[in-house]
Amino acid sequence: MKELLKELHTYKLGKIVEHVPLKEHTTYRVGGTADAFIYPKTATDLVKIMKLIKTYQVPYFVLGKGSNVLFSDRPFHGLIIKLDELDEVKIRGQIVTVGAGYSLMKLSSLVARKGLSGLEFASGIPGSVGGAIYMNAGAYKKDMGYIVTKVKVLTPSGRIISMVNRELNFHYRSSFFQQHKDYIVLEATLKLQQGVKEEILALMQERKERRLETQPLEYPSAGSVFRNPENQYAGKLIEDIGLKGLTRGGAMISPKHANFIVNVGNATSQDIKDLMDLVKVTVKDNYHIDLKVEQELVNWE
């Protein structure tokens, strides 16, 4: 790791910060300390970074806004790559080209103000564009798969290529990238529709008010913990077996929405993971349903 950091500094491939508490970069506000973060300035810099990572065989993880991830409490001995500076946006008519590091909520607001429809579902999703594509983030029966036409990616061999929608294997909370974690999203092209600005903004405001009423936004969380089983809602299953309000350490199954686990007071990652495991076992015992965790678990092995 020391040799890698030395080379990264030498080639000036982006800002480097060492010994970073992951709780400062995740919406759960938990996690151990990462050896280092790097913020590449360009896609070309990222290509060089990945070559050095392979040369020195150092573990790495590409982190968006930290809104759908649970790091363990253990130190992450490797490099966290943050694509925040890949954030250019171009809007030509109904076509939006945007960098992977751009905020999805910010983008939703930007296009709404221009009267473009199609991203209203994302107005409450606090992730990056790249992370949203990786997870095929969605809400209100819409997701990224409906609007992404192509994605510029960095391949494991170090090439930058474009992949079109049909190659990206978008399904409910799933994409090509979850099965091919060594591909990195760099940029996305979205196809939106012309709409009426006032109507789009009104819909987004209505949904914001509904979220405030039904979701525990006053506490750190990572959104919905489990994917909804077919024709059912994970939150209702968890609520019906009486798990709302259950705590482990500083973590709680939200009394407001049972598919949220919230950090109510200096929770550890293990507290949250323990609640996840308990929910899975209890739902399995009661309903014979295997709930799938929607969030990505990192550095637990």
What is the 3 state secondary structure string of the chain?
CHHHHHHHHHHCCEEEEEEEEHHHCCCCCCCCEEEEEEEECCHHHHHHHHHHHHHHCCCEEEECCCCCEEECCCCEEEEEEECCCCCCEEEECCEEEEECCCEHHHHHHHHHHCCEECCHHHHHCCCEHHHHHHHCCEECCEEHHHCEEEEEEECCCCCEEEEEHHHCCCECCECHHHHCCCCEEEEEEEECEECCHHHHHHHHHHHHHHHHHHCCCCCCCCCECECCCCCCCHHHHHHHCCCCCCEECCEEECCCCCCEEEECCCCCHHHHHHHHHHHHHHHHHHHCCCCCECCEEECCC
- Domains observed in the chain: 2-82 (3.30.43.10), 89-199 (3.30.465.10), 216-298 (3.90.78.10)
pLDDT tens for 15-56 read: 999 999 999 999 999 999 999 999 999 999 999 999 999 999
Q: What is the largest CA-CA distance in the chain?
A: 57
Distance CA(177)–CA(289), nearest Å, equals 26
Q: Looking at residues 198-208, what average pLDDT do you find?
A: 97
| CA–CA separation, 16 and 152 (whole Å) | 24
Confidence of residue 195 (pLDDT cuts 50, 70, 90): very high
Average pLDDT over residues 222-242: 96
- Average pLDDT estimate for 201-216: 95
> Average pLDDT, stretch 119-124?
95
From the list 29, 120, 173, 175, the catalytic residue is: 173
Residue 246 predicted with pLDDT over 90: yes
CB proximity list for 72: less than 8 A, separation 6 or greater: 31, 32, 269, 270, 273, 297, 298, 299, 300
- pLDDT tens-digit series, residues 61-71: 999 999 999 99
Q: Is 92 a catalytic residue?
A: no
pLDDT tens digits, 273-290: 999 999 999 999 999 999
Report whether 112 contacts 93 (CB < 8 A): no
pLDDT, tens only, 143-166: 999 999 999 999 999 999 999 999
Average pLDDT of the residues in 196-224: 96
Catalytic residue among 103, 174, 224, 254: 224
* Contact (CB, 8 A) for 256 and 214: yes
Binned at pLDDT 50, 70 and 90, residue 229 comes out as very high
Q: Which of 72, 108, 269, 294 is catalytic?
A: 294
pLDDT at position 260, please?
Answer: 98
Interval 255-274: pLDDT, tens: 999 999 999 999 999 999 99
Active site residue 88: no
99 pLDDT above the threshold of 90? yes
% of the chain exceeding 70 in pLDDT: 100
- The pLDDT value given to residue 33: 98
Mean pLDDT of the chain: 97
Q: Report percent pLDDT > 90 for the chain.
A: 99
Contact by Cβ (8 Å): 129, 149: no
pTM of this structure: 0.95
User: How confident is the model at residue 63, as a pLDDT?
Assistant: 98
Establish whether 294 is a catalytic residue.
yes
Q: What is the model's pLDDT at position 301?
A: 82
pLDDT at 47: 98
Indicate if the pLDDT at residue 111 is higher than 90.
yes
